[in-house]
Amino acid sequence: MSGVLLFIGIILLVIAIHDFFFTTLSGSGTGFVSRNISILSDKIIQVCVKVFGQKTYNYNGLFVNLMILFSWLLLIWGGLFLIFSSNPEAITNSSGKVANFWERLYFTSYTLSTLGMGDFTPSTAIFKMLTGAFSFFGFIFFTSSMTYFLSVASALVNKRTLSKSIYHLGKTPQEIAKNILNFNSSFTYQQISELQNLIDKHAVNHHAYPVVHFYRQSKKRDSFSINIARLDEAISILLYAEEENKYREELKVLRSSLSDFLEDMEKNFASNLLIRKNAENSYSFPTLHSKDVEKELQKRRNIVQGLFGSENYTWDDIFNKS
């Protein structure tokens, strides 16, 4: 029995520590545990939205982050507890009495909290070294977690800045397209450049800290999914409408940045998006003579519809018809 407890404890620690460091320090996304906890937490929020309404989305990202932190703590604490439980005499109190179940639980939690060992001490050299190692790890865990959450907060600010920038360009795709053409040329070039930089930065942040995806807003005007969909549709209008415009090359670069972001969304968040194979056409393009272009536009609409559809919005919200 002691061997089984030791084995399970080691497995839990390896899984938790790998997931923790990969998620917080790699900059390459989330580990297996964090990814699945995020998906599960988001589904819980979706159920709550049906009961309490759209305002629940204000707590979406916070809830997902706290659930990830809780899962790391639970796995590490549980693994350490099982390892100490593999030897009934691993922990003793000041009187030399062997610790019971609850006292071992208390000791391991106290060790991870970096507050010391409380009223108990490890009885052998191996467990003393293990206690010291996990006291040190507890310090790393809490400091790295805070650094990670600060990075997520910075990424969230960039996401909301991008959303606001698009919103102030126009409330519909047609309005955004019209304003881009009617603005002063130097201002338009500046806006296109700034939008591209914000989108590229968000795409990098989104890949490094996928939890940013789950931070949503309850108000339609603040919704990232609605604003990014409007921008993508506006660029389609400008690129494929019959009238020529002098910003075509710059818009192609902006479109490329958006394409990279949407591809990352489709690849990493398919389970969270309501992606349909044939999203409804939201705008008629008279110059679309190429089947490849039609196919490419349909694919884009599938992804953006999945993005705003996951927040219970429709194309009527994109075109401000509701």
Instruction: Please give the chain's pLDDT, 322 residues, in tens.
Output: 678 888 999 999 999 999 999 999 998 888 999 999 999 999 999 999 999 998 999 999 999 999 999 999 999 999 999 998 888 888 887 777 888 888 888 888 888 887 665 677 788 888 888 888 888 888 899 999 999 999 999 999 999 999 999 999 999 999 999 999 999 999 999 999 999 999 999 999 999 999 999 999 988 899 999 999 999 999 998 888 767 788 889 999 999 999 999 998 888 887 666 555 555 554 555 455 567 777 888 888 889 998 998 888 988 899 887 6
Work out the percent of the chain whose per-residue pLDDT is above 70.
92
Whole-prediction pTM value? 0.86
Q: What is the pLDDT of residue 277?
A: 54
Rounded CA-CA distance 59/17 in Å is 27
Rounded CA-CA distance 180/280 in Å is 25
Rounded CA-CA distance 197/82 in Å is 49
Are residues 180 and 234 in contact, defined by beta-carbon separation less than 8 angstroms?
Answer: yes
By DSSP bridging, strand 91-93 and strand 120-122 are: antiparallel
Q: What is the pLDDT of residue 133?
A: 87
Contacts 24+ apart (CB under 8 A), 132-141: 134/80, 134/108, 135/111, 137/17, 137/76, 137/112, 138/111, 138/112, 138/113, 138/114, 139/114, 141/20, 141/72, 141/76, 141/112
Q: What is the pLDDT of residue 295?
A: 82
Measured in residues, the chain has a length of: 322
Helix (H, G, I), strand (E, B) or coil at 33: helix
User: Is the dihedral angle over the CA atoms 176, 179, 181, 186 positive or is it negative?
Assistant: negative
Integer distance in angstroms from the first to the last C-alpha of the chain?
63
Place of tokens 């949407």: 262
Domain ranges of the chain: 2-146, 156-318
Per DSSP (E only), the strands in 164-214 are none
| Distant-in-sequence, close-in-space partners of 219: CB < 8 Å, separation ≥ 6 | none
CB-count burial class (<10 Å; 0-12, 13-18, 19+) for 248: exposed
Q: C-alpha dihedral over 321, 252, 193, 199, to 10 degrees?
A: 60
Q: Which fold has domain 2-146?
A: Helix Hairpins (1.10.287)
